[in-house]
Copies of this chain bind each other. A is one copy, B any other.
Amino acid sequence: MIRHVDSDLNSLKDLLLTMGGQVEKSLSRLDDSLADSDMKSLQEVHEFEADINRLHLEVDESCLVLLAKQAPFASDLRLVQSVVKINTDLERMGDLIVNVASSAERYLRFTVRVLPPQWGQMMEEVRWMVSNSLNAFVKLDPALSKQVLKHDDIVDCHNTDLTGVFKERMKSQSIEIDAGVEALAMVKCLERLADHSTNIAEEVIFIVTGDDIRHGRRQSV
């Protein structure tokens, strides 16, 4: 027998995943644009924002309706509460991707220097984390979530590395201060994207197991 609550929960998950798909597409467009230093394509990244914002409002409203109509409990209730939080993460990820695009537009006005190879490596890791945090949510897979959490350490290393590269370039005056400041903002946004992916992964673990591992609690679970 299919419960009404199952049908509503599946619709809610689908809506959240539509939003996640838009975040992934936006990030993919950003990555391609930066690989080609393509200003026109970079501007297209902004076009995803309106859709992500619309879905942000729609997901929150759907959660409220589901809670009022179905009064879910146990893992169903955890799922809805986690969707409210993942929704906030995805909306912020959409903003961060737009922020990288805006900084990149200014960066490319200040310097002809292409981004260093470490940028591509960091972007690849972040895209993997974003994609697999969403996969973990689709499959409600705590093991994949734990993989996502581990990858955050790799992103943190790239962050430290790239921050050092751009500071050195500013010190040696091989790029202008304005360009360096924009590049550092871009790196910071990528690092934040990875952080939001870890938030999603932590929520998946909570939905499935009921264990809240945030702030280092029950990390061994």
Q: Decide yes or no whether A15 CB sits under 8 A from chain B.
A: no
Cβ–Cβ < 8 Å partners of A57 in chain B: 212, 214-215, 217
Interface of A is mostly: helix
Instruction: Judge whether B73 and A68 touch: CB under 8 Å.
Output: yes
Given A67-B71, A68-B74, 7 extra CB contacts under 8 A: A53-B214, A54-B215, A56-B215, A60-B81, A67-B81, A85-B88, A170-B170
Cβ–Cβ < 8 Å partners of A178 in chain B: 167
Complex Cα–Cα for A177 and B85 (A):
37
Q: Decide yes or no whether A181 CB sits under 8 A from chain B.
A: yes
Q: Decide yes or no whether A124 CB sits under 8 A from chain B.
A: no
Cβ–Cβ < 8 Å partners of A177 in chain B: 167, 170-171, 177, 180
Chain A contact patch, size range: 20 to 34
Instruction: Judge whether A81 and B56 touch: CB under 8 Å.
Output: no
Q: Decide yes or no whether A61 CB sits under 8 A from chain B.
A: yes
Cβ–Cβ < 8 Å partners of A39 in chain B: none
Q: Decide yes or no whether A148 CB sits under 8 A from chain B.
A: no
Interface string of A170-214 (1 = CB under 8 A from B): 110000011011001100100000000000000000000000101
Q: Decide yes or no whether A78 CB sits under 8 A from chain B.
A: yes
A68 nearest CB neighbor, chain B only: B73
Given A67-B67, A84-B84, A85-B88, CB of A212 within 8 Å of CB of B60 = yes
Cβ–Cβ < 8 Å partners of A67 in chain B: 67, 71, 77, 81
Q: Decide yes or no whether A157 CB sits under 8 A from chain B.
A: no
Instruction: Judge whether A64 and B85 touch: CB under 8 Å.
Output: no
Interface string of A51-70 (1 = CB under 8 A from B): 00110110011011001100
Complex Cα–Cα for A67 and B54 (A):
26
